[in-house]
Structure 1
Amino acid sequence: MTNNAITRLLPAGLLLLFLFVVPHSVTAQNKIQVTSFQRMETDITARITAPRKDQNGEICALIRIVTTEKNFMFEPDALGIVARENKPGEIWLYVPRGARRISIMHETLGIVRNYFYPDIIEKAVTYEMVLNTGEWNNSPAAENNMQLLVLRPEPSSANIFIDDEQMPLENGFFTATMKKGEHTYRVEAPMYHSEAGVLTLTDEQKIMNVTLKPKFGYIEIFSLPEQDAKVHVDTLLVGNTPYRSDRMMEGGYKIRVEKDLYFPIDTLVTVLPGETTSMTLKMVSTIKPRTPWTTLIMAQANYHPSILAYGGMVGFVKKAGFYIRFVSDFGSVSTELECDDTEALTDGSGKPYYTGNTAKARMSATGGLLLKIANPLYLYAGGGYGNVVCAWETVDGKWAKNTDHSTTGAAAELGGVFRIEKLALSLGFHTVNFKHHEVVGGVGFIF
């Protein structure tokens, strides 16, 4: 055969070698099989004969791995392996309570990855695992009546019971290989409603999430106008405002908030499950606040059928206060004579002739008490000095004061002020010597 022919046949030969030889070598690599795993109730090795303790001071479980092969390597779960001892025909592994799985590796026999123990690993108990390291086709397989269960509770610190037996948790999960079929479960945690039921393990892995409903809630308390008030819950001092509680069981509570120089506040609060109840309490000072002065500025008019005068009022009031008031027609009259409505002069010199022209003058200056009766009503009352002059002109150019329509002396007044926000309206009565009477009205501002 020529070199060229050999060159053409070499790739085909290599392909046949790969198809027939390599699969057989790959198939033969993994020869490890767990044929049985059981608890050895009468074996006291782990408990009495050769006990070992883990880092928490608790007696380990012992797994006696039955095999004649050497140089096995083991990869445990997060709990680890405490110790390993090679015995004739066995390998002893000491593991902590609650261990869930293990990987078994050998450099020539292959690997069994993540083998889940079909029983709960308890402290001071001995277990037996039988390994078959021959060809799988020539060895009996362990009965596959087990299935993986993964249960994740919320909260992660909850207690899990399977078939009324408490199960260990690892990193917030419970994982175990258990017999197929129905199992009861119960998940419990302090301050949560428990959940129970029945789960069924079939040919598929079972992964469950169980979220417990809380029995607790929270309260938040704020105080105005100041914080740092003491908070009592059912007579127990728990802190100062602003206050946020820790978990509180659902239900009603008595709340008392206290602070120096303020009246205490007593109230009730209902804590709802899974919720935060927030309240802001307005505290009243025990120190009577100073009442600010209220200022009144008003334009007014005094009305009489014979004369109209204008003026203003300025007042200052809390519950009680004062005011001053001035009113005038801003006219003046100078008289030389006096007469009355009979037109006769009061000096007895007879009746002069009059032109029919009249002149009038009006002025009052008063002050007094301003009271706040009830919001929005104020009352004012006062006195002072006032005069009213009415003069008639004679034909010779002189002016005679009519004493029947003129008066000078004490002035008195009484009235009320009605407030509409900052607007003020007034109505009152004014008199001079109780002879000249006027109606008073006004409008202004109060602030």
Structure 2
Amino acid sequence: MKKDLLTFSLLFCCCLLMQGQEIKVEAFSKLERDLTPRTAERLDLNDEPCSILKIVVAHAGDFRFEGNIVGDILYKEGEIWIYMPAGSRNITIMNDKYGVLRYEFPEKLKKQTAYEVQIKLVENLEKKVRTLVMPVIGIGKGHPSYGFMLGFVRNTGPYLKVKYDFSGFSSDLECRDDGIIKGASDAPWYTGEKKQSRLSVTAGVIQRLGKLSPFYAYAGLGYGYNKLGWKTVNGDWVKNTDHSCSGIEAEVGGIYRLKNISFMAGVQTNSFNYVEATLGVGFMF
């Protein structure tokens, strides 16, 4: 179950990563004195001279194009030449990192005319996928548990949270509050030493509360346990089942982002038998 939750989070993240970046046409202009369409002429299927689009962009080799294109696209240093028939109205610009833009020309292309298209690669803050990295602490009846929360969100996104108290113990023996070990007729002598063991792994969804809001809500499910052990005079640990539980973890909470700093507060329960508060301060960038 824990493996499936992690896989879902990673796949969801991959689908979002490009959405904070986009291609933008910064300028479109006719190059009145450019003679390239005449000196390096190319004819369309009707034997008519083509227009030339000169795409100005860094890392030209990272771009692909679709449309009414004649012949091969010429990739040069910082510039791309694309031959198109007169009368063409649009072209589709594609980049693996920045996505796809279908661009409509301000005017129909004229034959034997060169045009310059300046492309700018921009980060759209409204579409930016933010990464949440946050140390967290769980505060319940026993000593605190510590961990981290990792999330990816634009308006909606996944998160994974793990907490552990670094105080585990193992035991095959169980008792209730009367101290009698399960399967035995009477209770052993106890030293009075107690130990708690707490683990939780949850995954869920972070939701932004408004288009440009700094407030987010989150809710998730997972698996965990909270165990209380009593130590006998023989050195054995016995799990007290009246104060131990394991199973489904459920949680809800809120996150506030102040620039790249984020603050989180929430409540978490294991099978509604154990409840703790969760607090955290981290980064969302």
Instruction: Provide TM-score, normalisation by structure 2.
Output: 0.55
Q: Closer, same or farther in 2 for the Cα pair 1:321/1:261, shift >3 Å?
A: farther
**1:319 corresponds to which residue?**
155
Q: Which residue of structure 2 lines up, in the alignment, with residue 353 of structure 1? A: 189
User: Partner amino acid for 1:333?
Assistant: F
Residues 50-105 of structure 1, C-alpha deviations (whole Å, 9 max, x = no match): xxxxxxxxxxxxxxxxxxxxxxxxxxxxxxxxxxxxxxxxxxxxxxxxxxxxxxxx
Q: What is the aligned partner in structure 1 of residue 260 from structure 2?
A: 422
Which of 435, 440, 444 does residue 278 from structure 2 map onto? 440
Unmatched segments (≥5 aa) in structure 1 = 1-223, 230-259, 263-287
* Counterpart residue type for residue 350 of structure 1: D
Which whole-Å deviations, capped at 9, do the CAs of 1:333-377 have from their partners, x for residues lacking one? Answer: 021321112222232422221110112211111101111112110
The aligned residue for residue 230 of structure 2 is: 392
Are the structure 2 counterparts of residues 315 and 394 from structure 1 closer, same or farther at C-alpha, using a change threshold of 3 Å? same
Root-mean-square deviation (CA), in Å? 2.4
Query: Residue in 2 aligned with 1:380?
Result: 218
| Counterpart in the other structure of 2:243 | 405
Q: How many residues align?
A: 169
Counterparts of 1:261 and 1:416, CA distance in 2: 43
Q: Identity percentage over the alignment?
A: 37
One-letter amino acid of the counterpart of residue 405, structure 1 = H
Q: CA offsets per residue over residues 115-171 of structure 1, 9 Å max, x none? A: xxxxxxxxxxxxxxxxxxxxxxxxxxxxxxxxxxxxxxxxxxxxxxxxxxxxxxxxx
Using the TM superposition, give the Cα deviation of residue 402 of structure 1 relative to its aligned residue in structure 2, in angstroms. Answer: 0.5
| Structure 2: unaligned runs, 5 residues or longer | 1-23, 30-102, 106-123
Amino acid of the residue matched to residue 418 of structure 1?
Answer: Y
**Following TM superposition, by how much is the alpha carbon of 1:226 offset from its aligned partner in structure 2, in angstroms?**
4.0
- Alpha-carbon separation, structure 1, partners of 2:266 and 2:208: 16
**3-state DSSP class of the match of 1:351?**
coil
Q: 1:328 to 1:289 in 2, by over 3 A?
A: closer
Write out aligned runs for 1:158-173 (5 A).
none
Whether 1:296 and 2:129 are equivalent positions in the alignment is no
C-alpha spacing 1:289/1:401, structure 2 compared with 1 (3 Å)? closer
The code of the aligned residue for 1:390 comes to L
Aligned with 2:169 (options 333, 341, 344) = 333
Residue equivalent to 1:75: none
Residue 358 to residue 312, structure 1, CA distance change in 2 (3 Å): same
Query: Residues 104-253 of structure 1: matches in 2 within 5 Å?
Result: 226=26
Larger radius of gyration: 1
How far 1:433 moved relative to its partner? 1.4
Report SS of the residue matched to 2:170. coil
Is the alpha carbon distance of 1:418 and 1:289 closer, same or farther for their aligned partners in structure 2, counting shifts above 3 Å? closer
User: How much has 1:227 moved relative to structure 2?
Assistant: 5.1
The CA distance in 1 between the partners of 2:190 and 2:180, in whole Å, is 11
Between 1 and 2, higher relative CO (CA 8 Å, sep ≥ 6) is seen in: 2
CA distance in 2 between counterparts of 1:442 and 1:409 reads 24
1:360 touches 1:389 (CA, 8 Å); kept in 2? Answer: yes
Paired residue secondary structure (1:404): helix
- SS of 2:151's equivalent in the other structure is strand
User: Where does residue 308 of structure 1 map in the other structure?
Assistant: 144
Offset of residue 431 of structure 1: 0.9
Give the Cα separation in 1 of the matches to 2:183 and 2:251. Answer: 34
Distance (Å, rounded) in 1 between the aligned partners of 2:273 and 2:188: 26
Aligned equivalent of 1:364: 200
Aligned equivalents of 1:348, 1:437: Cα separation in 2:
31
Q: How far apart are the structure 2 equivalents of 1:431 and 1:365?
A: 12
Report the AA paired with residue 255 of structure 2. Answer: V
The corresponding residue for 1:255 is none
Distance in 1, matches of 2:254 and 2:190, equals 42
What is the CA-CA distance between 1:319 and the residue it aligns to?
1.0
**What amino acid maps onto 1:443 in structure 2?**
V
Amino acid aligned to 1:407: C
**Could you state the TM-score of these two structures normalised by the residue count of structure 1?**
0.36
- State the Cα distance separating 1:299 from its structure 2 match: 0.6
Q: Which amino acid aligns with 1:366?
A: T
Q: Which amino acid aligns with 2:238?
A: A
| Match runs of 1:23-172 below 5 Å | none
User: CA 1:289/1:420 → structure 2, altered by over 3 Å: closer, same or farther?
Assistant: closer
